[in-house]
Amino acid sequence: MANTNIDWNNIGFGYIPTDYNVRCYYRDGKWGEIEVSSSDSINIHMAATALHYGQEIFEGLKAFRGKDGKVRVFRLEANAARIRQSAEGIKMAPVPEDLFRKMVIKAVQLNERFIPPYGSGASLYIRPLEIGLSANIGVKPAQEYLFMIMVTPVGPYFKGGFSTTDVCIMREFDRVAPKGTGRWKVGGNYAASLAAGQKANELGYSAVLYLDPKEKQYIDECGPANFFGIKDGKYITPASDSILPSVTNNSLMQIARDLGIEVECRPVHVDEIATLDEAAECGTAAVASPIGNIVDLDLDKKYVISKDGKPGPVTTKLYNALRAIQLGEAEDKHGWNTIIEL
């Protein structure tokens, strides 16, 4: 078994070995039984469609140990629905939502000792993954698939925690193609972002704010996360067929409505950045990461979002409200949490 001699207050966002993962195979037109494995390796044919033609999809969600000692998985059903949509999008065998649920719960239960304590700021990251296994040299969908769930304890995605970072716009890079795979969580979208992300990091920015791949006029996504801004008291987030529908963004929009904040999901022109009072990137890993400045490298233009270098009041309020629900500190009136029996 893996060692749990972990400094919970100082772990980063990386892979730490745990005791078990859970797996299920799709063969002969049906899903099999749930299997438990202590191996961190998988046996895959060298001609598997996952390796040659990108039949690979994944999800990311978290389990939290709450103030009351209970363990909660946040938005399990939403992630189950999204991975099904991803599967349908690239012609993979969809994982039934009940199977997804059972496997997530089992993976968390089996690795209970790796769930960080309440108050540490850490969580148990849950990574569901589906890959095509069939040996196909021709370009066609696999007939066999592996769905598995691994977990690992993680700290904050950004080392600075909930603090502002700067992002940049680089028009030389596209994340996805119009009407392509951007709306699904496939590995290829992230592979396409690596060169831009590395260049941005080398220049001192935390992420790239991508513009739409067709016209380069509208805000798309912010690296591996969705983008939102606060303008005149409204929550504004881009709408596009190439943007991954973020579970976190969806949650923040609902919380905003609960707080009486008007929400607009619509195309956001790049020039509108100058009118934003606050901005942030949001996703499972970081929840909400406030943006201090946005620098358009092509136009040599800097948009100062945070005048004092601190997170804005609305972003802070939304972040704290979402975290409170995840940790059992606030009422879960939308039924987002799945409580795990341990």
- Other C-beta atoms lying within 10 Å of the C-beta of residue 30: 8
* Contact (Cβ atoms closer than 8 angstroms) between residue 64 and residue 74: yes
φ, ψ of residue 224 to 5 degrees: the values are: -90, 20
Tokens of 325: 């629900």
Buried b or exposed e, range 72-83, using 16+ CB within 10 angstroms: bbbbbebbbebb
What are the φ/ψ torsions at residue 133 (nearest 5 degrees)?
-100, -25
Q: Is the dihedral of CA 195, 57, 165, 241 positive or negative?
A: positive
Considering only CA atoms, which of 21, 56, 27 is closest in space to residue 40?
21
The three-state secondary structure class of 32 is coil
Residue 91 and residue 240: Cα distance in Å, rounded? Answer: 22
Candidates 185, 216, 317, 333; catalytic one: 185
165: its two tokens: 């970072």
CA distances from 214 to 188, 193, 222, 274, 328 (A): 19, 17, 17, 22, 43
Distance CA 42, CA 324 (A): 37
β-pair type (263-266, 234-238): parallel
State whether residue 29 is helix, strand or coil.
coil
Contact 295, 166 (CB under 8 A): yes
- Distance (Å, rounded) from C-alpha 250 to C-alpha 240? 14
Respond yes or no: is residue 140 known to be catalytic: no
Query: Is 216 in contact with 299 (CB distance < 8 Å)?
Result: no
Angstrom distance (rounded) from CA 283 to CA 227: 9
Please give the positions annotated as active site.
185
